[in-house]
Structure 1
Amino acid sequence: MESDDDKPLASPADSLALIAQERANLERDLTPDPRWMFWPWGFAWLLGFGLFFLRFGPDGRVFVDLPEWLPLTVLSLSFIAAGLITGIAGGRSAMQTRGPSSRQGLMYGLTWSIAFTGMGILFAQYGDALPDDRLGLLWAGGMVALTGALHMAGGAIWNDRQLFILGAWTSVINVAGILVGPGWHSLIVALGGGLGMILAGLLGWLRLR
């Protein structure tokens, strides 16, 4: 007995629709879940920079009397956890592909690691030359600026408008935070950057569906 899959398509339009559907299914299977790629970082920014604002607020104000080491420790551990989660999620998708796309992903990932390592070494040279609040702003502002630039570069590489917009948004709020000064920068990055990544993950997931 002939099944529905064996029946010939009624028109060229049906053939094109089937091709488009299969192409979308393939893209969905090969693309990492955007929630796993953005949400870990979004919550890490929201929590880590949020604690920085509560402990090291504008003009030295302390909103919550936390241990001085706690915000940086939470931010660092959150970043490590986010890196592991996104690395595993991206690695699973990369295992299903070969060729230029796979190499692009590998080189893009190495770019993040090398760029942040280089910037960290550079900033460490000025650890004793700036007041603590300005040094914190230098580290946070520089790292967020690099994140925004790399997101925009990734959007350009893969023609991903949403990723490019996220990078541009991150860059804009970072500049705004730097201009208003230490303390406020942490709040702006926590809310604008963290929630922006969470929203980007949600929109990307809905688009794949």
Structure 2
Amino acid sequence: MTDDQRWTAASARDLLDRTEAETASALDVPTGPLLAVWGAALTGGHLAIWWATREQDPYTGPPAWALAVLGGALTLALVVTVVTVGRAARGVHGLSSRAGLLYSLTWVLSFGAAQVIMVALARDGIPDSTFGKLSALVPLLLVATIYLASAAPLGAPALGVVGGLLAATTATAAWFDPSLMALVIALGCAISFGAGVAVARRPQ
């Protein structure tokens, strides 16, 4: 190997190392605090839904105040996530910056699409019990999917733990009636995000 070839190989390796470091920096978000925010939002929101519907027979759906609690909590958690990721990616350019932007857009677009779907289903007049289940299960499954998909690229095993437990919670909750399902989701979220925060705090 000539000196030029050695120089080229070393330069390429150095460039690769810098790119990987920039990508990690772009997505270096405080996992523990974000998980705590989402855990509080999902747990508190679904407890409000359960409390508001626990005595309904037949089920007619949560009142506006309970939906506002859940929607407001999820919106706040989403804003905190986008702002946090945006700050982490500030000052980083190129592929790394785009990765951070796409991660933020994943949350915004997926939840936006879910809301549009729920509005369309409501307009079609689906049964209250079915709408109640879907309105709770769809956002939860979105969070689980995004966390599972993000765990490896972000090097954050805590996201994988939360995502896996949330997926199990979603599948389990679907078998209960809408009111009790909200309580199951609240408990599952508390356990899932609590486990994720514990993993995130462990020394790496």
Same fold per superposition (TM over 0.5): yes
Deviation at 1:188, TM superposition (A): 1.6
Mapping 1:1-209, distance limit 5 Å: 31-57=28-54, 60=57, 68-127=63-122, 128-207=124-203
Q: Aligned-residue CA RMSD in angstroms?
A: 2.7
- Three-state SS of the structure 2 residue aligned to 1:183 is helix
Question: How far did residue 90 of structure 1 move?
Answer: 2.2
CA contact (8 A) 1:39 1:201 kept: yes
Show CA shifts across 1:122-175 (max 9, x none): 222221422222211111111211221111111133343331221121111111
Q: Matched residue of 1:129: which SS?
A: coil
Gaps of 5+ in 2: 1-23
* Unaligned residue ranges in structure 1 (runs of 5+): 1-26
The number of aligned residues is 178
CA distance in 2, matches of 1:154, 1:129: 35
Aligned counterparts of 1:188 and 1:102: Cα–Cα separation in 2? 38
Distance of 2:49 and 2:116 partners within structure 1: 22
How far does residue 49 in structure 1 lie from its aligned partner after superposition?
0.3
1:115, CA displacement in angstroms? 1.7
CA contact (8 A) 1:174 1:189 kept: yes
Give, in angstroms, the shift of residue 57 of structure 1.
2.5
SS of aligned partner of 2:175: helix
CA distance in 1, matches of 2:152, 2:55: 36
* Cα distance between partner residues in 2 of 1:51 and 1:61: 18
State the Cα deviation string for residues 17-62 of structure 1 (Å, max 9, x = none). xxxxxxxxxx79x732223311111111111100111111376489
Which whole-Å deviations, capped at 9, do the CAs of 1:83-137 have from their partners, x for residues lacking one? 2323332222211533433322211221221122222212222214222222111
For 1:123 and 1:170, how far apart are their aligned partners in 2? 20
Instruction: Note closer, same or farther for the CA distance 1:84–1:117 as it changes in structure 2 (3 Å cut).
Output: closer
* Partner Cα separation in structure 2 for residue 97 and residue 125 of structure 1: 39
- How many Å separate the matches in 2 of 1:115 and 1:73? 20
CA distance in 2, matches of 1:55, 1:69: 10
Work out the CA distance in 2 between the residues paired with 1:88 and 1:118: 20
Q: TM-score, normalised by structure 1?
A: 0.73
TM-score normalised by the chain length of structure 2: 0.75
